Structure 1
């Protein structure tokens, strides 16, 4: 079955498979949102079924919660957990400092809250997500629906004084209607091309009226697990300054791959 996966899905799978090994029984674990995080949830579900792993998961979106329950993971809210041992999530981009752009899946607000309520955050990604400078991927900014065109205008005006290449913002759509987050908000995607100072931009954006949160994750990620299509997995720890590499074998599993 694994032979039917595309190279990019193989890379996502091995990264998720390796990161799933970080979870131990008794932990409270944040579960990210997106295609790579979905692989993680499936891998953890396999460990629940095959190894008897018992932990409580705090999902960062309704769709992650649905998938987690489907594969047998106990789901609780962040209010119930209060604090987490670990959060594992994907990223749309990451750089050498493990600064991230997240929010392509529309769950950046819950993802950032959960990640910052954790002892550690581990990012899982395929190698294509690594960039020298953040910004090629559109930066999501969550805004309240009331007066969103005004918020958009204020954001674009603010970008004039920022170290970025592009300055346009577009409202994310879901068909003919604006995309709506789990919190009932909208998302502006900022087409910046390059972000020269992510820390400054993150702070400035959150001062704009109507902006709830932005998709720049600065000083939040502790480790990144990078998957490659040939089964190699590289793990970088920003705190320890270590890099390790190993190779995982693809094992056919009809349950794990049934939705692919």
Structure 2
């Protein structure tokens, strides 16, 4: 196991301390979130009583294998806590998410939760968002028109860079659990995330973007000096 794997494991296990018996949980997607789900499964096997909403089919299958009780937002529309990873975290706990392609469900679940806690290794903490290409989930219809509109409206928000369709297997593009496509926006830096987030919502073909703003209350970050908690200012 690499050092990064160790750090992800440490962050995931620290987040498990926030889980109480009887909680309704959102389960994130990605390599760090998967470690949390594994740890939660062991706790459930030992008698912990929780019910969970997965943010992707991958996470759902993992939770089912571990016999973690699952529900849906239709059955359980309000959750106590969501634990998820992030591709980037800034000092205000603004996030870029969607590297795994589950950003739409992740944002819906996070918004339905009283608290969102992010778990990560220290490499994900950045001074400014944008070095990680921003994922944007889009519909298939009018794809090139949507991509051009994203480029134009992002430029108005001070962001310029290549907007590319995410590849999948073989010649096919990557397809989300909702049947949509993902474009990745290599802006390099996002000077005003709130401005860009508002702008992207104005593009008709955009379903959702990977800027998670004002959603995370706490980030549990594992590094060489141990595990530390970062709190959103004002949260």
* TM-score of the superposed pair, with normalisation by structure 1: 0.88
Deviation readout 1:232-254 (Å, 9 max, x if unpaired):
1111222577xxxxxxxxxxxxx
Q: Residues 239 and 72 from structure 1, CA distance in 2 versus in 1: closer, same or farther, beyond 3 angstroms?
A: farther
Deviation readout 1:29-56 (Å, 9 max, x if unpaired):
0000000000000010111123x11100
Higher radius of gyration, 1 or 2: 1
Contact 1:32–1:59 (CA under 8 A) maintained in structure 2: yes
Contact 1:122–1:222 (CA under 8 A) maintained in structure 2: yes
Q: SS of the counterpart of 1:80? A: coil
Q: Which residue of 1 aligns with 2:22?
A: 26
Counterpart check, 1:47 vs 2:47: no
Deviation at 1:228, TM superposition (A): 2.2
Q: Give me the whole-angstrom Cα distance separating, in 2, the residues matched to 1:218 and 1:63.
A: 25
* TM-score of the superposed pair, with normalisation by structure 2: 0.97
Query: Residues 182-221 of structure 1 correspond to what in structure 2 (within 5 A)?
Result: 182-221=177-216
Q: SS of the counterpart of 2:64? A: helix
Q: Give me the whole-angstrom Cα distance separating, in 2, the residues matched to 1:219 and 1:38.
A: 23
Q: Which residue of 1 aligns with 2:123?
A: 128
Q: Give me the whole-angstrom Cα distance separating, in 2, the residues matched to 1:118 and 1:144.
A: 26
- The number of aligned residues is 234
Q: SS of the counterpart of 2:48? A: coil
Which stretch has the larger CA shift, 64-73 or 121-130? 64-73
Q: Which residue of 2 aligns with 1:173?
A: 167
Q: SS of the counterpart of 2:230? A: strand
